[in-house]
Amino acid sequence: MSISEKIKVLRIEKGWSQKKLAEMLNVSSQAISNWERGQSYPDISNIIQLSDLFDVTLDELIKEDINFKEELIRKNLEKKISVVLSSIILIIFIGIFGYFTFNAIKRNFKEINYFALSVSFLGIIYFIKEIQRNN
């Protein structure tokens, strides 16, 4: 039985509506509907909460659903790739910022490329936030 089917069966066994379960998990009713129809999967924190609410083990909830396992692996891989790419771009922006800062210091701040410094500084801030968002 897939996780979507298990969520629906366990919810009905408890006598809960999709709306009630959504409120308990702090998600939308649409999210519950999507999970039960197999349109999307709950994230790992919601899986743990579902396990607790339904009083079943995580194994019972997800073990038989091969698609869910593959989806978790895919999401995890995408997250890792995103962090690596963001880190590489962050390093490039830090290098650009450092290069233009060094040149400004070397010339006693007589010739400063404000545009390059601004863009690289904003890039650094953006990618730091992107890395934090992915963690």
Transcribe 82-123 into DSSP letters. HHHHHHHHHHHHHHHHHHHHHHHHHTTTSS--HHHHHHHHHH
Residue 67 has pLDDT above 80, yes or no: no
What is the tens place of the pLDDT at every residue in 95-111? 887 887 787 777 776 66
pTM > 0.85: no
Question: 115-128 pLDDT, tens per residue?
Answer: 777 777 787 888 78
**Dihedral (C-alpha) 81, 91, 96, 119: value to the nearest 10 degrees?**
60
Task: Decide which of 22 and 75 is more confident.
Answer: 22
